[in-house]
Amino acid sequence: MARAESVVGVVGAGTMGRGIAQVLAEAGVQVLLHDASEAAAHAGRGFACDMIERAVQKGRMDASAGKAAKARIVPALSLDRLGQAEIIIEAIVEDLSAKRELIARLDPILDPAAIIASNTSSLSITAIAAGSAHPERVAGLHFFNPVPLMKVVEVIRGVETAEQVIERLIGLVESFGHFPVVTDDSPGFVVNHAGRGLYTEGLRVVQEGVTDPATVDLLMREAAGFRMGPFELLDLTGLDVSYTVMRKIYDQFWQEPRFRPTPLPERQVQAGHFGRKTGRGFYRYRDGAMERPAEIAPPALAGSAARIWLDRSTISDQAFLSALAARLADWHDDGMAPAEESICLVAPIGLDATQAALSAGTDPARTVAVDPLFGPDRRLTLMTSPAMQRAFRDAAWAVLSASGAKVSVVRDSPGFVVQRVVATIINIACDIAQQLIASPGDIDKAVRLGLGYPAGPLSLGDTLGPARILAILDGLLARTGDPRYRASLWLRRRAELGLSLLSSEVSLS
Catalytic hit among 6, 119, 121, 385: 121
d(CA 327, CA 345): 14
Backbone phi, then psi, for 370, in 5-degree steps?
A: -125, 135
All residues at 6 or more sequence positions from 468 whose CB lies less than 8 Å from its CB, including other chains: 349, 373
Q: Taking Cα atoms as reference points, which of 39, 5, 9 lies closest to residue 21?
A: 9
How far apart, in Å, are the Cα atoms of 260 and each of 245, 274, 484, 487, 493? 12, 20, 8, 16, 25
Task: Please say if 121 is a catalytic residue.
Answer: yes
How far apart, in Å, are the Cα atoms of 380 and each of 133, 327, 344, 349, 485? 59, 13, 16, 14, 24
255 and 246 Cβ atoms separated by less than 8 Å: no
d(CA 506, CA 265): 42
d(CA 29, CA 69): 8
What does the H/E/C string look like for 192-209? HHHCHHHHHHHHHHHHCC
d(CA 316, CA 376): 14
Catalytic hit among 6, 90, 124, 142: 142
Catalytic hit among 175, 192, 385, 427: 192
Backbone torsion region of residue 288, taken as left when φ is above 0, otherwise alpha when ψ lies between -120 and 50, otherwise beta = left
117 and 89 Cβ atoms separated by less than 8 Å: yes
The H-assigned helical ranges of 313-439 are: 318-327, 353-360, 390-402, 418-434
Task: Please say if 427 is a catalytic residue.
Answer: no
Task: Please say if 208 is a catalytic residue.
Answer: no
Catalytic hit among 26, 86, 90, 154: 154
Q: Taking Cα atoms as reference points, which of 389, 395, 396, 468 lies closest to residue 427?
A: 468
d(CA 378, CA 436): 35
434 and 426 Cβ atoms separated by less than 8 Å: no
Report the DSSP pairing between strands 138-142 and 115-118: parallel
* Residues identified as active-site: 121, 142, 154, 192
